[in-house]
């Protein structure tokens, strides 16, 4: 995987409004928020897309979701938030480093998109 803006944030080459960090992931506020709460949770391990995650990444993927739950709760949206993972350019993925969007604080339509 090539260097992405997210790998540069992990390496502190680019500033971000970081709201959570542990040994497996980093979370920061989206610079172009689509909701009052729009936070991205990224693994520190470079995985470009969910489709390319391996069976050995199962615990890491679960950790991303549980971290998202914790972050939403800490932000005051623990009962109502949406998680989004885009997989591929055709569905909106623009940075090819796996990331989970945490969105909350407004009404959302269904189906999305």
Letter string b/e over residues 16-48, b meaning 16 or more CB atoms within 10 A of that residue's CB? beebbeeeebbbbebeeeebebbbbbbbeebbb
Instruction: List the catalytic residues.
Output: 99
3 state SS of 40 = strand
Cα 1 to chain centroid distance, Å, stands at 17
Q: What is the CA radius of gyration of the chain?
A: 13
Residue position matching structure tokens 């997210």: 6
3-state helix, strand, coil in the chain (%, to 5): 30, 20, 50
């Amino acid at each position: 995987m090539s260097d992405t803006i997210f790998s540069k944030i992990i390496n502190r080459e680019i500033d971000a409004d970081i709201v959570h960090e542990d040994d497996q992931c980093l979370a920061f506020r989206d610079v172009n928020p689509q909701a009052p709460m729009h936070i991205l949770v990224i693994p520190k391990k470079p995985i470009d897309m969910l489709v390319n995650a391996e069976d050995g990444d199962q615990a890491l993927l679960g950790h991303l979701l549980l971290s998202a739950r914790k972050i939403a709760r800490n932000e005051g949206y623990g009962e109502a938030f949406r998680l989004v993972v885009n997989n591929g350019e055709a569905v909106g993925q623009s940075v090819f480093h796996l990331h989970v969007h945490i969105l909350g604080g407004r009404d959302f339509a269904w189906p999305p998109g």
